[in-house]
Amino acid sequence: MRTLYSITFPHPDGGSTVIDYLDVGGWWRHDFSADGEYLEAVPTDARSLMPLGGDGGPSLVYELRKCAEAMGAAATRLLGPPGKALRRDRRDVLRRLEWAVSEAWDDAMRRLEAAPQDDEAAVARASRAIEFMRASRELARSELAG
């Protein structure tokens, strides 16, 4: 069993949640206390990524895109039932990626519009976020259509 993708979500109390996608086991959620104590591991699905993303729409888009790319690369190497399950789960991640871009788009546009025009770095950061989200949406749509 191999971890194909992992993302850590820190909690305000100091604890954290780690969501892993395993090549054979699918999605797993691991919870840790503020002391680093391992609390539990439970099977889950891609929906568990959504509430953990909080206000970070662009960062959730980034993580979902990285996840979809990792799953796509692994799916081409796996044959049989694990590969079929991985491709199904990847489609779910791509659908959630498309949703996350839609949810974060208005906020990203407001950031671009609010960036001081004389602050080239702020304008560039906001523009890169928009371009990344646009490319992510196109990736999701083309992969889902194919």
Percent of the chain with pLDDT over 70: 92
What is the span of the domain harbouring residue 87?
3-145
Overall number of domains in the chain? 1
Checking if the pLDDT of 73 tops 90, the result is no
Checking if the pLDDT of 92 tops 60, the result is yes
Checking if the pLDDT of 68 tops 90, the result is no
Checking if the pLDDT of 52 tops 60, the result is no
Q: What is the pLDDT of residue 30?
A: 94
Checking if the pLDDT of 64 tops 80, the result is yes
Mapping DSSP to helix (H, G, I), strand (E, B) and coil, where does residue 27 land?
A: strand
Distance CA 83, CA 61 (A): 24
Mapping DSSP to helix (H, G, I), strand (E, B) and coil, where does residue 75 land?
A: helix
> Residues near 14 by Cβ (< 8 Å), separated by ≥ 6?
33, 34, 35
Q: What is the pLDDT of residue 142?
A: 92
Distance CA 144, CA 128 (A): 24
Reading the block at residue 134, the tokens are 């646009």
Return mean pLDDT, the chain. Answer: 86
